[in-house]
Amino acid sequence: MFSLEEFEAAALEITNTFPEDFFRELNGGVMVRSGSRLHPAARDHDLFVMGEYHRDRYLGRFIVLYYGSFAQCYGYYSDEDLRAQIRRVLLHEFRHHLESLAGERDLEIEDAAEISRYLGYCPLRDQ
């Protein structure tokens, strides 16, 4: 597993490969927090948040990656595989950003469906 500094460097390196248009109005950029974050729906400390996209009226728009969450879930991955996961999460969060700019919510809906599946919720079964 990367150290925190290596993780930050990898995230920056990956982010620098993205098109300039991705960064429009992302005034807070991409930051890494050292801790982990459990999803509020986690049942048994088994659902970690890898990253989040934020829109705040005071702080602006920014993306956060949680180093501790990556360490918990992917700590045994090779450097190459860990970089792939960082890239996957960054692309996911940038999609939130770009959809937000366009007034779309498709990924929010997909994320909510994933959480429903995790919780075992089935709309047809529960009617």
Summarised one tens digit per residue, pLDDT across range 8-67 is: 999 999 999 999 999 999 999 999 999 999 999 998 888 999 999 999 999 999 999 999
SS3 sequence, the chain? CCCHHHHHHHHHHHHCCCCHHHHCCCCCEEEEECCCCECCCCCCCCCECCEEEEEECCCEEEEEEEHHHHHHHHCCCCHHHHHHHHHHHHHHHHHHHHHHHHCCCHHHHHHHHHHHHHHCCCCCCCC
pLDDT band at 126; cut points 50, 70, 90: very low
What pTM did the predictor assign?
Answer: 0.92
Architecture of domain 4-119: 2-Layer Sandwich (3.30)
pLDDT band at 7; cut points 50, 70, 90: very high
Structural domain boundaries in the chain: 4-119
